[in-house]
Amino acid sequence: MNNLQLEKQHSAYLKRLRKEKYEITGWQLFILLAFLTLWETAGRFNWIDPLLFSYPSKISSLFVAKLSDGSLALHTSVTLLETIAGFILGTALGTLFAAALWWSRKASRISDPYLVVLNSMPKVALGPIIIVALGPGYLAIITMGASISIIITTLVIYHAFHTVEPNYVKVIQSFGGNKKHTFLEVILPASFPAIISTLKVNVGLSWVGVIVGEFLVSKQGLGYMIIYGFQVFNFTLVLLSLFMIAVFSSLMYLGVEWLERKLIKN
Amino acid sequence: MSFLQVNGISHVYLTKTKAKEAIADLSFSIEEGEFVSLLGPSGCGKSTLLSIISGLLQPTEGNVIIQGKTKHKPGESMGYMLQQDYLFPWKTIEDNCLIGLKLTNRLTKESIDGTLNLLDQMGLYDVRHAYPDQLSGGMRQRVALVRTLATGPDLLLLDEPFSALDYQTKLKLENLVSATLKTHNKSALLVTHDIGEAIAMSDRVILLSPRPGKIARTFQMPSHLRELIPFDARNDPEFAEHFQVIWKELDSLEQSPT
């Protein structure tokens, strides 16, 4: 086959790929529009209880109203900051604990049963204690956001550290590298994929921790908006909060994916 | 005084169920610039012995003297090549090659240039910014060779470094390694279970018997075979003779109940 024919085949292949991509995006948009239309129609014609399930146009007009009085931006930013802080704290401390356990095999064996117990315990149940201990404010809510992800992060990342190909470690040792070299040159970079996937899980977990924390104490935030909407029976407000959570947790997830591309080059 | 002396090495592996003797009272030496192969069936403690010589593993008994020194740290005067390349997939080819210098705090303009020069000699200069997964198996093992040579070791420990490669690549790399070692007058200890490879590359072949590993016989290769490059050595009539002798010896070792 000559070059021209090869090129033709290649461009046809690229065209097929593009077509497939458009088709998938088309379906995704169609499902979204169909869902919104159905919801709107069902709400307006009272097929579903609009008091409970509301409908898109009602939610969007509330969105505009809350946006213009500034309260939505305030609640959202409060929750977002708490979540990001809890997310970073939980992941960083979890990774740090995992590193400590990797460093000392004895420490890891001693702590093993405690980690299992802590992991199986529902961390949100600690909420009341955390709130009383740290005071009903940002600190308690961030702690809840972090506590929910910290143990599972420790366990998953420690496991990743521990299953790094031993021959990579041997290469470092054969050059006279010490434990610190081994950790920084091999263990940590080899575990980046595992760390990234725990980050993806932790995005969801820290939102849970923070929202529950806000349920319990706060005067501000999306969790507060949900509880308030529930108490005054304004489910449009609840759904608006849910919408904001969906948007920002997806953005955080995209942020993690961006980090993944930065960290994992090969 | 020999370049490397291995004196009465024994090693015992302890597990929950038993204590297993991997190597028993093993002694031999390597002269400067000499290429020695350890040949033996699986279970004769070949890799254990390399780990002990490199200083990664403390022997239960005996000692290793290199250039007159008993105490040596890994990485000081030895390079270790493993069965597979084990290049770090997250580092570029260049960074992979420089890791030894980095770990021993010897990253200087000269040493970096020296490593790049080695890469150039192996025909890898153009791919220095690539990542290992973009390279073929033979290229990767060549990078691993550069990585091992970059720290300027006097002794190379080769733990079946060609066993994971296809036959053609393996023959090419044998020639390359042999020529590189000869030019830089380096000593080498090759562990293998490939009789042909041992004969083609070595000055001396030490045959080990298994469970626990000890020296069964030593074969000195004739001088004209030693001077040939490995590929030509394989085609020499004397190669076939030695192959037959060692083959029979190895066969009897594997069958004899020990």
Question: Degrees (nearest 5) of the Cα angle B168, B173, B174?
Answer: 100
Task: Using the predicted structure, report yes or no on whether residue A33 has a pLDDT greater than 60.
Answer: yes
What's the pLDDT tens digit per position in B114-172?
Answer: 888 888 888 888 888 888 898 888 888 888 888 988 888 888 888 888 887 788 888 88
Token code pair at residue B250: 């190895």
| Calpha distance B52→B47 (Å, rounded) | 9
Q: Do A190 and B76 touch (CB under 8 A)?
A: no
Burial (0-12, 13-18, 19+ Cβ within 10 Å), A187 = buried
Q: Are B156 and B148 in contact (CB under 8 A)?
A: yes
- Closest chain A residue to the Cα of B132, Cα to Cα: A266
Q: Helix (H, G, I), strand (E, B), or coil: what is residue A245?
A: helix
A242 vs A33, A65, A190, A208, B230, CA distance in Å? 18, 17, 37, 12, 72
Residue B258 in this model has a pLDDT that exceeds 60: no
Q: What percentage of chain A exceeds 90 in pLDDT?
A: 59
With residue A4 as reference, give the H or E element that holds it: helix A3-44
Cβ separation A266–B79 shorter than 8 A: no
Q: Which residue of B has its CA nearest to A192?
A: B90
Q: Which residue is closest to A191 within chain B, CA to CA?
A: B90
Give me the residues of B, 146-175, that contact A with CB < 8 A: 151
pLDDT of residue A266: 56
B132 shares contact with chain A (CB less than 8 Å): yes
Sheet of B204-209, strands arranged across: B78-81, B155-159, B187-192, B35-39, B204-209, B214-220
Average pLDDT score over chain B: 83
Question: How much is the average pLDDT of A66-84?
Answer: 91
Four-residue CA torsion sign, A146, A149, A154, A160: negative
Chain A CB contacts of B133 below 8 Å: 266
Q: pLDDT tens digit string along A129-158? A: 888 898 888 899 999 999 988 999 999 999
- Measured in angstroms, the CA of B161 and the nearest CA of chain A are apart by 13
The pair of three-digit structure tokens given for residue B78, joined into one six-digit string: 């030895």
CA distance B51 to B23: 12
For residue B14, what are its two tokens? 């302890």
Mean pLDDT, range B204-219, rounded to an integer: 81
Residue to mutate among B71, B86, B158, with most A CBs inside 10 A, is B86
Torsion of CA A160, A161, A166, A168, to 10 degrees: 100
At B66, give phi and psi (nearest 5°): -120, 125
Gap between the Cα atoms of B209 and B218, Å rounded: 12
Angle A200-A204-A206 from CA coordinates, rounded to 5°? 105
B26-71 pLDDT, tens digit each? 888 888 888 899 888 777 788 888 888 888 888 888 888 887 777 6
Band of pLDDT at residue A1, cut at 50, 70 and 90? low
**Interchain CB distance below 8 Å, A265 and B79:** no
**Segment A76-92, tens digit of pLDDT:** 999 999 999 999 999 99
Q: Are strands B4-14 and B61-66 parallel, antiparallel or unpaired?
A: antiparallel
Instruction: Look at A22-26, A38-42, A260-264 and tell me which has the smallest mean pLDDT.
Output: A260-264
CATH code of domain B1-43+53-76+201-258 = 3.40.50
Give the separation between CA A94 and CA A149, rounded to whole angstroms: 8
Residue with tokens 């992941």: A91
Query: How do residues A165-180 score in pLDDT, each as one tens digit?
Result: 999 999 898 888 888 9
Residue in B86, B131, B133 closest to A171 by CB:
B86
Q: What is the pLDDT of residue A86?
A: 92
HEC assignment per residue over chain B: CCCEEEEEEEEEEECCCCEEEEEEEEEEEECCCCEEEEECCCCCCHHHHHHHHHCCCCCCEEEEEECCECCCCCCCCEEEECCCCCCCCCCCHHHHHHHHHHHCCCCCHHHHHHHHHHHHHCCCHHHCCCCHHHCCHHHHHHHHHHHHHHCCCCEEEEECCCCCCCHHHHHHHHHHHHHHHHHCCCEEEEEECCHHHHHHHCCEEEEEECCCEEEEEEEECCHHHHHCCHHHHHCCHHHHHHHHHHHHHHHHHHHCCC
Helix, strand, or coil (residue A222): helix
Tokens of B182: 């000869």
**Strand, coil or helix: what is A187?**
helix
Q: What is the 8-class DSSP label of residue A125?
A: G
CATH level 2 (architecture), domain A58-263: Orthogonal Bundle (1.10)
Is B75 within 8 Å of A186 when comparing Cβ atoms?
no
Among the partner-chain residues A165, A176, A190, the one whose CB lies closest to the CB of B104 is: A176
Contact A190 B75 (CB under 8 A): no
Q: Phi/psi of residue B7, each to 5°?
A: -115, 110
Select the residue of B88, B103, B133 nearest A177 (Cβ to Cβ). B103
CB < 8 Å to A181, chain B: 103
Q: Is B101 in contact with B111 (CB distance < 8 Å)?
A: yes
Residue from the list A175, A186, A265 with its beta carbon closest to the beta carbon of B104: A175
pTM of this prediction? 0.82
| A128 pLDDT higher than 70 | yes
On average, the pLDDT of chain A sits at 90
Strand, coil or helix: A132: helix
Following DSSP, what letter does each residue of A171-186 receive, concatenated? Answer: HHHHTT--HHHIIIII
Do B103 and A189 count as a contact with CB atoms less than 8 A apart? no
| Dist CA A157 CA A161 (whole Å) | 6
For chain B, the C-alpha Rg in angstroms (whole number) is: 18
Which of B78, B86, B151 faces A168 most closely, judged by CB atoms?
B86
Q: Is the peptide bond before B212 cis (omega within 30 degrees of 0)?
A: yes
